Structure formats: structure tokens, C-alpha cells
């Protein structure tokens, strides 16, 4: 057979195949729903991250974090995270700046490694007390941190009991705000502290809405304290507004740093006739000699959560630490499965 006849035969076969083969009905490839949750921990609070992993029934992801001799941070994921729903657990405890920078590097590394979604789990949001300008020529540091996180590639933020509600508005990405208030309410109920013999106290007018919600949980009245700050990390109580005489005062705040507010408030409440004073705060920083200062104050009990590491060796008998790993784990699972976060708190997680 000649070469020309062979070529004509091949062309005819090709034309026949093109007319008989079915044309594709779609211009994409469809896959079944496949999602993979991966949890990684920074060096700020590995114990909390491990407890969250235990609640979720998974192992923490392998990530290498080191500090070079010149103080720079190094990050390397030791397993593939391509297409994964990555959750990075890093709280804003000291050293704050190092932990924040470490989180940013972990987020950018995950972004460059093609993670599908990156969620920063920040139980304590650093710089949240600097959410506005209180004096000329000051930075709005909380807004700057929000910008850093978004620029690094974070797609979502999970945090707990922010110092101020407007911080949520600093972000252009979703912010899931959790609260430890139900944990505290259940704890005091179990101790029999509820009803008319108890009063929910706000340490300042700014936390009055939170104190009111807490009072509703315990079916008790509320009181508000008039607080001024003569200097950074110092507080003075000038007035107690509300009836606390003959009642057990339960005073809540978002954080304890130096303990100055609580000591001054306890003295004022006792002078106003309170039987005893119990204080609770989500974030127990206890900077400097705060533990010793609070141990010597007229406080019946101090209750905090483990959103930041607590020194258990120097923990006084009056200090109780409640775990938040259950709440965090449940919230992470809801985000992963596209469920409702507010439903976990029965819609009571908007405190501002």
C-alpha cells in the first residue's frame, strides 16, 4: 500500500472517531467533599494546644519552631498541609512580641504551603487593651495586630473575651468571639452562689453589660464600681453603685494583670458591706508580684481560665483555674464543619 493511501486511511479513522465519541457534557472535574482538619501549636501555650487536640481526638501537627542566635524565629511544617483546614493555636502571653511574630510566620508558611484555610486560635488577643487612642500621639496597637494577621494570610480568627468589642471591626475577615462566662456561671452555681444573696459586680462602667448578663445567669442583682486610672496598671475605686450590703460579691473582668483593680475593688466592696468578695477573670496574666498581692487581699477566691499559662507551683490556695479546651475544641469543630459558633453559647457570646 502506498504512503498516500495509508495517510488517507488514518485521517478517515480519526474523523470517524470524532463523530462517534460522545462530547464532554461539562468543563470541570467534580470531586466528593473532602476536608482535613490539622491543628498546630506555637510555643506560647503548648499544654493548652495538646488539651484541645485531645478533645478533638487528633494529634498535633508536626511543626519545627526555633529561635536563631540573633533572636529571629524559624518555622517549618514537617508534613504536607496542602488543601487542609489549618488551625494555629497561639495565645498572646509573654514574650508577647516573639509569640505574635511566631504566629505570623506560621500563618505565612501555611499560606505558601497551599493550606486551604488558615484560622488563628488566639485565646488571649495581644495588644487588645490598646484598642483606641487615650492620649495624643499614641498607636492603636490592636488595629495594627489585626492588619498583621490578615497580611500574613490568616483567613479567620478565634478569640475569647476581648477587652473591647470594636476590635472585631478592625478585621476584614471573620472573627469568632467566644466567652468563658458560662463556665464561670456554672462554677459558682455548683458552689451554691446564686439568687438574692449574691450580687454581680462590674469593676467599671465599661463592663456593666457583661455584669448584667452574668447576673441574669445567676438570677441575682448587679452593682457597678466607679474606677479611675491615675497611671498605667494602677486603679482607684471612688464609688460603689448598687446594693452590696450583706451579699456575696462576684466581680468579673476580662483579665488580671497586676491585680491592682481587684485589690482596690475588694476593699471598697467590704467597706460597702459585702460579706465576701469572689473575683473571676478569663485571662490570668499575674504580672510581677500580682499573685502575692492578691493572696494578701481580702478576697475569698480568685477564678481564672487557662487561656494563658498559669504557674501552678506558686498558685495560692484561693486560686482556681478552669479549663477552656472543651469550649475551644467545640468551636474549632464548628468552624471546620461550617456549623454555628454562637449556638455553642446559646447566642450569649456578644457581650459588648
Q: What is the DSSP letter of 306?
A: B
What class does CATH assign to 37-179+328-345?
A: alpha beta
Q: Please report, rounded to a whole number, the percentage of residues in the chain having pLDDT higher than 90.
A: 67
- Residues 35-58: tens digit of each pLDDT: 899 999 999 999 999 999 999 999
Asked if the domains 37-179+328-345 and 181-322 are classified in one and the same CATH topology, the answer is: yes
| Assigned architecture for domain 181-322 | 3-Layer(aba) Sandwich (3.40)
Ordered by start, the domain boundaries in the chain are: 37-179+328-345, 181-322
Question: pLDDT, tens digit, for every residue of 219-266?
Answer: 999 999 886 655 555 556 658 888 999 999 999 999 999 888 788 888
Edge-first strand order for the sheet with 198-202 is 236-241, 221-228, 198-202, 248-256, 276-284, 301-305, 319-322
Q: Which of 143, 213, 227, 247 is catalytic?
A: 227
pLDDT digits (tens, 9 = 90+) for 293-350: 887 788 999 999 999 999 877 788 889 999 999 999 999 999 999 988 888 876 666 6
Spatial separation of the C-alpha atoms in residues 143 and 136, rounded to whole Å: 17
Do residues 193 and 278 touch, judged by C-beta distance below 8 A? yes
Residue 240 pLDDT? 87
The three three-digit cell numbers of residue 342, written as one number: 454562637
Distance CA 28, CA 36 (A): 22
SS3 state at 26: coil
The residues, ordered by sequence, that sit 6+ positions from 9 with a Cβ below 8 Å of its Cβ are none
Q: What pTM value is reported for the model? A: 0.86
Contact between 316 and 291 (Cβ < 8 Å):
yes
- Cβ neighbours of 64 (radius 10 Å): 9
- Grid coordinates representing 304 are 481564672
CA distance 149 to 127: 13
Residue 209 annotated among the catalytic residues of the structure = no
Q: Which helix (H) or strand (E) holds 222?
A: strand 221-228
Q: Quick one: which of 37, 14, 102 has its CA closest to 331?
A: 37
- Average pLDDT value for residue range 137-141: 96
pLDDT at 295 (0 to 100): 79
| Separation in Å, CA 295 to CA 34, 260, 262, 319, 322 | 52, 12, 11, 9, 18
Q: Which three cell numbers stand for residue 105?
A: 510566620
Task: List alpha helices for 39-180, DSSP H.
Answer: 46-56, 96-112, 141-152
- 59-91 confidence digits (pLDDT tens): 999 999 999 999 999 999 999 999 999 999 999
Amino acid at each position: 500500500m502506498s504512503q498516500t493511501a495509508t495517510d488517507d486511511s488514518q485521517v478517515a479513522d480519526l474523523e470517524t472517531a470524532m463523530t462517534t465519541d460522545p462530547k464532554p457534557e461539562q468543563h470541570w472535574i467534580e470531586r466528593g467533599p473532602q476536608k482535613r482538619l490539622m491543628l498546630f501549636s506555637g510555643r506560647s501555650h503548648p499544654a493548652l494546644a495538646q488539651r484541645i487536640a485531645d478533645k478533638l481526638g487528633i494529634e498535633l501537627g508536626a511543626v519545627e519552631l526555633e529561635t536563631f542566635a540573633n533572636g529571629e524565629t524559624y518555622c517549618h511544617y514537617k508534613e504536607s498541609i496542602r488543601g487542609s483546614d489549618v488551625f494555629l493555636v497561639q495565645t498572646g502571653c509573654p514574650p508577647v512580641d516573639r509569640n505574635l511574630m511566631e504566629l505570623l510566620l506560621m500563618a505565612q508558611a501555611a499560606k505558601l504551603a497551599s493550606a486551604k484555610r488558615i484560622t488563628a486560635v488566639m485565646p488571649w488577643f495581644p495588644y487588645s487593651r490598646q484598642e483606641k487612642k487615650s492620649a495624643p500621639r499614641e498607636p492603636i496597637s490592636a488595629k495594627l495586630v489585626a492588619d498583621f494577621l490578615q497580611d500574613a494570610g490568616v483567613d479567620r480568627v478565634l478569640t475569647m473575651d476581648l477587652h473591647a468589642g470594636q476590635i472585631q471591626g478592625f478585621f476584614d475577615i471573620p472573627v469568632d468571639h467566644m466567652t468563658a462566662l458560662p463556665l464561670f456561671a456554672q462554677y459558682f452555681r455548683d458552689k451554691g452562689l446564686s439568687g438574692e444573696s449574691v450580687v454581680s459586680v462590674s469593676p467599671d462602667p465599661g463592663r456593666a453589660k457583661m455584669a448584667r448578663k452574668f447576673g441574669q445567669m445567676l438570677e441575682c442583682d448587679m452593682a457597678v464600681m466607679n474606677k479611675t486610672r491615675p497611671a498605667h496598671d494602677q486603679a482607684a475605686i471612688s464609688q460603689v453603685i448598687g446594693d452590696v450590703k450583706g451579699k456575696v460579691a462576684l466581680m468579673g473582668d476580662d483579665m488580671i494583670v497586676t491585680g491592682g483593680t481587684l485589690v482596690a475593688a475588694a476593699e471598697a466592696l467590704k467597706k460597702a458591706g459585702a460579706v465576701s468578695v469572689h473575683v473571676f477573670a478569663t485571662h490570668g496574666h499575674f504580672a510581677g508580684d500580682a499573685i502575692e498581692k492578691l493572696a494578701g487581699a481580702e478576697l475569698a477566691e480568685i477564678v481564672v481560665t487557662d487561656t494563658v499559662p498559669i504557674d501552678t507551683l506558686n498558685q495560692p490556695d484561693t486560686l482556681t483555674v478552669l479549663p477552656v479546651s472543651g469550649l475551644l475544641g467545640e468551636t474549632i469543630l464548628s468552624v471546620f464543619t461550617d456549623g454555628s459558633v454562637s449556638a455553642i453559647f446559646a447566642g450569649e457570646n456578644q457581650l459588648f
